[in-house]
Amino acid sequence: MVLAFWVAGDLQLALFWCLHNILPFGIVYRSDAEERVKVAVMEVHIEQTPEPRQSIGISHRQIVAVRLLQMPSQELMGAIAYERDINPAIELLERESCNYCGAGVDRGAHACPLCGMSLLGKESHQRDREDYALERSLGTPTTGTPVEDDGSDPMVRVAGTTERGDGLLQMLNLMIDEDESEIAEYLVGNLDHHGYLVDSIIEDAAVELSCPPERIEHVLQLLQRLDPPGIGARGAQECLLIQLKRLAPAEKPRKLAELLVKNHLPALAFRRFREVAHAVGRTPKTVEAEWRFIREHLHPYPSHGFDPDCDELVEVAASVRPDVVIHRRGTGFEAEVVEQQRYDLHIHKGYQWARQHMHEMGGSRDDQQHIRTYVDRAQSFISALKQRWDTMQRVSDALIDLQRDFLAYGPRALKPLTRADVAKVVKLHESTVSRATDGKFVLLPTGQVIPFDNFFDPSLPVKQALRQWVATENPKRPLSDEQLARLLCQGGFEIARRTVAKYREEEGILPSRLRRSRS
């Protein structure tokens, strides 16, 4: 029998027969053996049975929201345009945008409601500034230098001044009150092709605009804080003094250089170092070294560093448009999301009505599926877009509260901050805060466009101090990394030499041996 089962190929049945009929005391082991064989020969059945179970999943709306949140502004513009083109259920109202920050503006508005930039048409600006520049070109230069007759058309210079002035005017409008915009236009319009103003600009503007000279002086000081350094100066002397103040840190001014520029420029131009040294009580070698510093680091004509063929200075900064604008509001600051001011998306009324009355309308199954698909897709997209704006607003408000000193006083007041700290304040996950800030930019009240990353960069104050020390070092004996580390430690920054070397490389500053002047 065993052989029959074996020949038949049924080894399991052969084993079962042996266990059941041959082994003594089979009664003792039979039940276990039988169970094992029965399990072995048991057939396997696959069937579906309902079972309640909790699991974590992500919906389509959440996927869309995550993707939109992490997009930079330029990529988001493409996503909105694509969605508008393929989805007939979406209606997009895109307002005219500010050339600087990209926010939406109403027709006929004179200034951007978000960043404060002037929105007056280029033609009207050009006519005003051409009048100013033409009057200026017919006058006598105030610097005492002869006007170069290079054979060029003077109206080409007027046009070049006009286009450079557009960028300056827009940046200046960020820093002034609305009732001072006329003063700003007058000052910028009167800049000559060197970037200078006439000596009598305060008195001229006061008469022309019927305005107190103190207010004009205030706007002029703000203009002189803009780039290029020295813009708005009333001659080469004031231009160089402005650049010296910008170049040297407040705690280490170059007093000798300021003294030479104020009182001895004509003598230095003819290299009369002994005469100047006797007047200032220094050695001729010291005076000569300071004059060399002035010549190497300062430029008497601020606007010459910019290509006159450029459209606007502001376009350099605006090549990256801000996603959020932070501006002053009373004694504090306020943040606004640019996209929210520009785009207005909603569902087409016809599709919305059809979706609500689908059962009453009847229609084919394909028509109902078409309406349902596109309306649901539009709702998901618009909801995700609003969620993006809400998240960016909450994160920006938290950054204003946490880095208020940075906004008020600059990089030296930056506090150590992580995205996890912001996440706790806004009650969001750290990864959500990262998506809301990565690759996005902020327009500060000073007119500077910076990445969100700067709010979380603890090295920013150190790098600023490092740049200042290198800018004011002796070119003959540049500071080593070890010396820079000691100076930074004295300034309150606990930093090692290797960290100084790392920051120096990140800032594109050469080692001391390569910074040494060869002259």
**Per-residue confidence of the chain (519 residues) as pLDDT tens digits?**
544 544 445 555 555 555 555 544 444 445 555 555 555 555 556 777 777 777 666 677 788 888 889 888 878 888 888 888 888 888 888 777 776 666 666 666 666 766 666 665 433 343 333 333 333 333 333 333 333 333 334 333 333 444 455 677 777 877 788 788 889 888 888 887 778 888 889 998 888 888 899 999 989 988 888 878 888 888 888 888 888 887 765 546 678 888 888 888 777 766 778 888 888 888 888 888 888 888 778 877 776 554 433 333 334 334 567 899 998 887 889 999 988 888 888 898 888 888 887 777 667 788 888 888 888 999 999 999 999 999 999 999 999 999 888 888 877 788 888 889 999 999 999 999 999 998 889 988 877 888 898 888 777 778 878 888 888 888 888 888 888 888 888 887 788 888 888 888 877 788 887 777 644
pLDDT at 476: 82
User: So where are the chain's domains?
Assistant: 2-41, 122-141+154-316, 322-450, 460-515
Name 466's Cβ contacts closer than 8 Å, sequence gap at least 6: 484, 488, 500, 503, 504, 507, 509
Q: Please check whether residue 450 is in contact with residue 442, taking contact to mean a CB–CB distance below 8 angstroms.
A: yes
Exposure class string for 156-175: b at 16+ Cβ within 10 A, else e:
ebbebbbbbbbbbbbbbbbb
Task: Give the predicted TM-score (pTM) of the model.
Answer: 0.49
Q: Are 191 and 184 a contacting pair, CB within 8 Å?
A: no
Q: Hey, what amino acid is at 236?
A: A
Q: How far apart are CA 216 and CA 203, in angstroms?
A: 9
* Backbone phi, psi, residue 233, to 5°: -75, 155
Q: What is the pLDDT of residue 109?
A: 65
What amino acid occupies position 108? Answer: G
Sign of CA dihedral 124, 127, 132, 137: positive
Only one residue has tokens 């930074």, namely 488
The pair of structure tokens assigned to 75 is 């990529």
Which residues are within 8 A (CB) of 49 and not within 5 positions of it... i.e. 6 or more apart?
A: none
SS3 at position 91: strand
> Alpha helices of 249-283 — where are they, by DSSP H?
255-263, 265-269, 273-280
Which H or E run contains 424? helix 419-426
So what's the pLDDT on residue 166?
Answer: 62
Superfamily of domain 460-515: Homeodomain-like (1.10.10.60)
CB atoms within 10 A of CB 498: 10
Task: Please work out, in degrees rounded to the nearest 5, the angle formed at the alpha carbon of residue 297 by the alpha carbons of 261 and 149.
Answer: 75
